């Protein structure tokens, strides 16, 4: 019997597999709930708290990738596992799932994956930065930075404007923000000010392709940022900075 009595939401349009998973997981001590499509899964998530979600990828209507993207937006700290008969490591990696199993699989394997995923969950939740909001009007740069973060076990959410960013900060559970300075409408510095006014502890990293236009060391406004990077920058620069901020954040939480 599992001590955690973790609540697991299982999503699969295969009724036989869905029933098998729910019955098996319930039998070994989890509180398992099964639904047959992504829309119903989102409805259950709005009304109930779950510790983990297991989803098929290939489903009619909203597939597992689409479901995961919505889950990541509103429940970024909930682990998600994929099960699929059509495994694609590239596709799954870009979707930032916490793990996956290819059909057919042994029940013991999925139980082991659930246990290890839930065992890692407290470490991810307490203190460390995980969900990173990327704000940049350059689609190509935004996609590249998102891929960098995914490859280094961060969970990115990207938007193209400061106004969209403020909406996501109100709606979602964001740990840190990386924003370009020069953007149409509200710029990155103004966005940072608004974030810091509401949540002074929220790490904000500024990026720009025009570093020579700013007095980084002497401008008190820029000094409020938790980091400053000139474009283009290497993956190790932003990941190193985020790792430092994450360690400092975990120290404050501890």
Q: Tell me the domain boundaries of the chain.
A: 7-124, 131-253
Which residue has 């939480």 as its token pair? 253
Q: Which residue has the tokens 């998600």?
A: 80
160-212 pLDDT tens trace: 999 999 988 887 678 899 999 999 999 999 999 999 999 998 999 999 877 65
Q: What would the CATH number be for the domain defined by 131-253? A: 3.40.50.2300
Tell me what pLDDT residue 126 has. Answer: 43
Helices (H), 14-172: 15-27, 38-47, 64-74, 89-95, 107-125, 139-151, 162-171
The highest-confidence range among 75-79, 112-116, 175-179, by mean pLDDT, is 175-179
pLDDT tens digit string along 132-146?
899 999 999 988 888
What is the pLDDT averaged over residues 43-69? 89
Residue with tokens 């990941």: 239
Query: Which residues lie below 8 Å from residue 208, measured CB to CB, with a gap of 6+?
Result: 180, 181, 182, 188, 214, 228, 230, 231
pLDDT at 219: 64
Q: Find the mean pLDDT for residues 86-107.
A: 63
Separation CA 10–CA 178 (nearest Å): 33
CATH of 7-124, one of 1.10.1840.10, 3.30.70.940, 1.10.10.410, 3.40.50.2300: 3.40.50.2300
206-247, pLDDT tens digit by residue?
Answer: 998 776 565 555 566 677 889 888 888 888 899 999 988 888
Centre a 10 Å sphere on the Cβ of residue 163 and count the other Cβ atoms it contains. 13
Cα distance between residue 133 and residue 204, in whole Å: 9
Greater model confidence, 152 or 93: 152
Residue the block writes with tokens 């901020």: 245
pLDDT band for position 3 (50/70/90)?
very low
pLDDT(254) > 80? no
Mean pLDDT over the full length of the chain:
82
Residue 87 reports pLDDT greater than 70: no
Does the pLDDT value for residue 10 go beyond 80? yes
Q: Which helix (H) or strand (E) holds 100?
A: strand 99-102
Q: How many residues does the chain have?
A: 254
Q: Which of 25-29, 72-76, 195-199 has the lowest mean pLDDT?
A: 72-76
Contacts of 166 (CB under 8 A, 6+ apart): 191, 194
Whether the pLDDT of residue 94 is over 60: the answer is: no
**27, 29, 84: which is closest to 55 by C-alpha?**
84
With tokens 């993207």, the residue in question is 69
DSSP 8-state symbol, 177: E
Cβ neighbours for 148, distance < 8 A, ≥ 6 positions apart: 235, 238, 239
C-alpha torsion sign, points 125, 151, 52, 99: negative
What average pLDDT does the segment 48-66 reach?
90
With beta carbons less than 8 A apart as the criterion, state whether 205 and 178 touch. yes
**How many of the other CB atoms lie within 10 Å of CB of 189?**
21
- pLDDT of 42: 94
Name which residue leads in pLDDT, 254 or 45. Answer: 45
Quick one: pLDDT band at residue 124, thresholds 50, 70, 90? very low
pLDDT at 151 over 60: yes
How remote is the C-alpha of 73 from its chain's centroid?
7
Share of the chain above pLDDT 90, in %: 33
Residue 34: count of CB within 10 angstroms of its CB: 23
| Cα 80 to Cα 53: distance, rounded to the nearest angstrom | 5
- Decide whether 7-124 matches 131-253 in CATH topology: yes
pLDDT at res. 89: 46
Q: What are phi and psi of 202, to 5 degrees?
A: -70, 120
Q: Average pLDDT for residues 94-98, to the nearest whole number?
A: 65
């Amino acid at each position: 019997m599992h001590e955690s009595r973790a609540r697991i939401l299982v999503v699969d349009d295969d009724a036989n597999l869905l029933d098998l998973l729910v019955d098996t997981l319930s039998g070994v001590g989890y509180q398992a709930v099964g639904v047959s499509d992504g829309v119903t899964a989102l409805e259950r998530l709005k009304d109930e708290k779950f510790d983990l979600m297991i989803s098929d990828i290939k489903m009619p209507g909203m597939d597992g990738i689409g479901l995961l993207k919505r889950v990541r937006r509103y429940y970024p700290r909930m682990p998600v596992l994929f099960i699929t008969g059509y495994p694609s490591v590239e596709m799954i990696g870009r979707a930032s799932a916490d793990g996956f199993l290819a059909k057919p699989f042994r029940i013991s394997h999925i139980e082991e994956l659930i246990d290890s995923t839930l065992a890692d969950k407290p470490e991810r939740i307490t203190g460390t930065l995980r969900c990173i909001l990327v704000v940049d009007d350059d689609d190509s740069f935004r996609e590249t930075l998102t891929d960098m973060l995914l490859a280094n076990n961060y969970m990115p959410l990207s938007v193209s404007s400061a106004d969209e960013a403020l909406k996501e900060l109100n709606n979602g559970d964001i740990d840190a923000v990386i924003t370009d300075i020069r953007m149409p409408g509200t710029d990155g510095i103004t966005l940072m000010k608004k974030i810091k006014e509401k949540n002074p502890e929220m790490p904000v990293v500024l990026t720009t392709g025009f570093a020579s236009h700013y007095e980084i060391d002497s401008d008190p406004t820029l000094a409020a940022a938790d980091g400053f990077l000139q474009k283009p920058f290497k993956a190790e620069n932003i990941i190193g900075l985020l790792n430092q901020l994450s360690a400092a954040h975990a120290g404050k939480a501890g």
